[in-house]
Structure 1
Amino acid sequence: MTSPEKHRRQPARPADLRRRSALAGEAAAASAEVETALSTPADPTSAAFFDVDNTVMQGASIFHLARGLYRRQFFTTRDIADAVYKQAYFRIRGVEDPEHIAQTRSSALSFIAGHTVAELEELGEEIFDEAMAHRIWPGTRALAQMHLDQGQRVWLVTAAPIEIASIIARRLGLTGAMGTVAEHVDGVYTGQLVGDLLHGPAKAEAIKSLAAREGLDLSHCSAYSDSYNDLPMLGLVGDPVAINPDPQLRSHARQHGWRVRDYRTGRKAARIGVLSGAVAGALAGGVAAGVSARRRHH
């Protein structure tokens, strides 16, 4: 006979229990906030704008994209090793000069040069499923759904490529996305940007343009971000919210009475989030810079 002992479920580890408790608390808190907000009448002039990296999704979306493309042999480790080091040095030390910034901008999306828009969109769908879908913060997703349920439109606003931003928005059932636009000719990427990265002040300009076109009253709108760099966007709206904020944004939010929602688990996770954001950005920038250098060499 089979011993009953073999059928007994193994006790959960303390770390697993803590993680389950954290997720349960996160879901409950988000649900309570949603239920309260749903009693507010719909306002056609209001909308919500969400940053993506570390706000909607854990980590940097362009990092997940670059890693997925690397696995599909878009480039090699050797191509990016030196560039990653340089990017990490500048980002972590906080030392940047105009020449470095210009180089970063010019090479930001060069790793897709020569590939087609259709190819990137198809692979982006695959990469979302394998690397991004499970990284969506449930609490942030619940907040976005709250706005949709109130009859509001919801846009993602991110420095990530517009193709990836649009995939994320579509998979989450959102209205749309605004992201960095890469130049393409006859459906083939040139490796150059149209304008600049959608970052910092550029996000605010994009939102103002959209609001004018869609008849939105920004004082009735909400914006969500994790980064102090998004103050131009957050400062535009009547309801700015700090999600998983970096230390500077957390301090600013508290000083100005903004809502703060942190879906990370514990202080260790918060510290890791700050460092991983810098490293992910370094890798993403390094990927672009490395491939750009390789193409110039060839």
Structure 2
Amino acid sequence: MANLALFDLDHTLIPTDSDHEWGRFMVKLGLVDAERFTEQNDYFYGQYKAGTLDINAYLVAALTPLAKHSREQLKAWHDQYMHEVIKPAMLPVAIELVREHKAAGDLVCMVTATNEFITAPIGEAFGVDKLIACEVETVDGHPASAFTGRPTGTPSFREGKITRVEAWLASLGKTWSDFDRSYFYSDSHNDIPLLEKVTDPIATNPDDTLRAHAQKAGWRILDLFQAS
């Protein structure tokens, strides 16, 4: 029976926050008002770290700028963002960790609260089997059509990550019990619900709250980037 390996993204597989960095990238390109957007970006990032994030308000704020541009233009900017920001942050130690699970025959999934526009190319770059991210609404529901600037579906955040993972497994005709072991790597205390769901929770580069929780629970702690 194969195992299941789930990975958070930001500060887990990369030592930065892909959504926060995308906001900074938009400011750099002059796509948004620098002062206002930087303040908003930092505000929601602070909420996330504090565990008080209003996920729907955050998603609307993050996605609204996407509706102003064509998919072709957004892709060109995202390609530049991958080259300048993300690829340099994809450290060999993290790439190898994903590869080890894939080489073992595990089913590998990236589960992130960052939206799918930002994270789909990152998931491809890491070679995961499946990406579960906050979904972005399109004008007519077609994947290639323009964005509306609004989220859709269940946000993959906190308990929503469990909901989305279980829905994905169900689409494969599977449940948690179909795997000998299930792993989840995450840095954030926001992910404690999903960490408690798997057989092998791994607090990876954990924030202070998660580190304390992991130590009390006897979970494995992996300081991945200290090993790089």
State the TM-score, normalized to the length of structure 1. Answer: 0.65
Structure possessing the higher relative contact order (Cα contacts under 8 Å, 6 or more residues apart) = 1
SS of the equivalent of 2:157 reads coil
1:181 shift after superposition: 1.1
Name which of structure 1's ranges 237-246 and 60-69 shifts more when overlaid on structure 2.
Answer: 60-69
| 1:123 counterpart = 2:77 | yes
Q: Residue in 2 aligned with 1:211?
A: 169
Unaligned runs of 5+ in 1: 1-42, 267-298
Q: Residue in 2 aligned with 1:11?
A: none
Letter of the aligned partner of 1:222 in structure 2? Y
1:259 pairs with one of 203, 213, 220: 220
1:149-208 deviation line (CA, Å, top 9, x unaligned): 011221111111212222111112221211111111151111111035421111111111
1:111 pairs with one of 37, 53, 65: 65
Contact 1:160-1:180 within 8 A present in 2 as well: yes
Contact 1:121-1:164 within 8 A present in 2 as well: no
Give the aligned length: 220
| Greater share of helix | 1
Contact 1:50-1:225 within 8 A present in 2 as well: yes
SS of the equivalent of 1:155 reads strand
SS of the equivalent of 1:208 reads helix
Cα RMSD (Å): 2.7
1:259-291 deviation line (CA, Å, top 9, x unaligned): 11103449xxxxxxxxxxxxxxxxxxxxxxxxx
State the TM-score, normalized to the length of structure 2. Answer: 0.84
SS of the equivalent of 2:9 reads coil
Q: Residue in 1 aligned with 2:211?
A: 250
Letter of the aligned partner of 1:242 in structure 2? A
Structure-2 change in CA distance of 1:173 and 1:106 (3 Å): closer
| Greater share of strand | 2
1:226-274 deviation line (CA, Å, top 9, x unaligned): 01110111122111111000112112222222211103449xxxxxxxx
1:62 pairs with one of 11, 19, 23: 19
1:109 shift after superposition: 1.6
Look at both structures and tell me which one has the larger radius of gyration over its CA atoms.
1
Letter of the aligned partner of 1:257 in structure 2? G
Unaligned runs of 5+ in 2: none
Contact 2:67-2:147 within 8 A present in 1 as well: yes
2:31 pairs with one of 74, 97, 113: 74
Cα separation, 1, equivalents of 2:19 and 2:61: 13
